[in-house]
Amino acid sequence: MTEAQKRFEKVFNAPNHKSIIELWLEFEKLLGYPEDRKIRLTNQSRPQQLSDWMQRHRMWDKAPPVEKASEFGATWRGWWKILQPQWRISDDECGGSLVWNGPSDEKWQNLLKGGGNGFVLVLLSLSWWMMREKDESRKAEESSSAFEDVQWVLQQMVRVLHTQHEQGSEEDHENNDPNTRPTKR
């Protein structure tokens, strides 16, 4: 996590970008810093550069070659779309926008994954895309809108995790009420 955080601090250094690092750290903390390698995001339509990076010892300070920002961005967006709950995918002809107003009880099952194979891979690959756009001296409009969407989703997941922890605390408190007798098993 420390290496990932250093990487993200180098890339997400604009004033409006810094909060995503704090959100991600809170997300991992609320998940209990999982280390289970079986917890993973789908690799369906995942950018090949991410798979290559994972197979090559996960060097956080070395991004794999991203030939063209626009091509990488298109692949990244396809993967991001697959990770979304169905209600987020709009019916518009452009196919690029994702809906932000959905059910308040969304569980984010495809994305609520922490650890080395979890949401960190979304942020890492997004950082590569943003850096490639910067290297190409392009306006970062495409990756900026993706960044905003990733940040929004991360906010939603942190909210869900806080709710789960609060409900868990209430249940724990109810179960530890000194005024009730323990049940025999």
pLDDT in tens, 18-61: 899 999 999 999 999 988 888 899 999 999 999 999 998 898 88
The predicted pLDDT at position 184 comes to: 43
Averaged pLDDT for residues 66-92:
92
Q: Is residue 48 part of a domain?
A: yes
- What is the number of domains present in the chain? 1
* Residue 183 belongs to a domain: no
Percent of the chain with pLDDT over 70: 87
Q: How far is residue 150 from each of residues 37, 100, 110, measured CA to CA in Å?
A: 22, 11, 14
Separation between Cα atoms, residue 105 and residue 6, nearest integer Å: 33
Structural domain includes residue 70: yes
Residue 94 pLDDT greater than 70, yes or no: no
Question: Could you tell me the residue range of the domain that residue 34 belongs to?
Answer: 2-175
69: in domain? yes
* Torsion angle of the four alpha carbons 106, 84, 73, 42, in this order, in degrees rounded to the nearest 10: 120
Is 139 within the bounds of a domain? Answer: yes
Asked if residue 163 is part of any domain, the answer here is yes
Cα–Cα distance, 111 to 46 (Å, whole number): 13
**74 falls within a domain:** yes
What predicted TM-score, i.e. pTM, was given to this entire model?
A: 0.86
Query: What does the mean pLDDT of the chain come to?
Result: 86
The better pLDDT of the pair 36, 156 is held by: 156
Provide the pLDDT for residue 181.
42
For residue 132, is it within any domain? yes
Q: Which helix (H) or strand (E) holds 174?
A: helix 141-175
Query: For the residues 157-161, what does the mean pLDDT come to?
Result: 95
Beta bridge partners of 89: 98
Rounded Cα–Cα distance for residues 140 and 101 (Å): 25
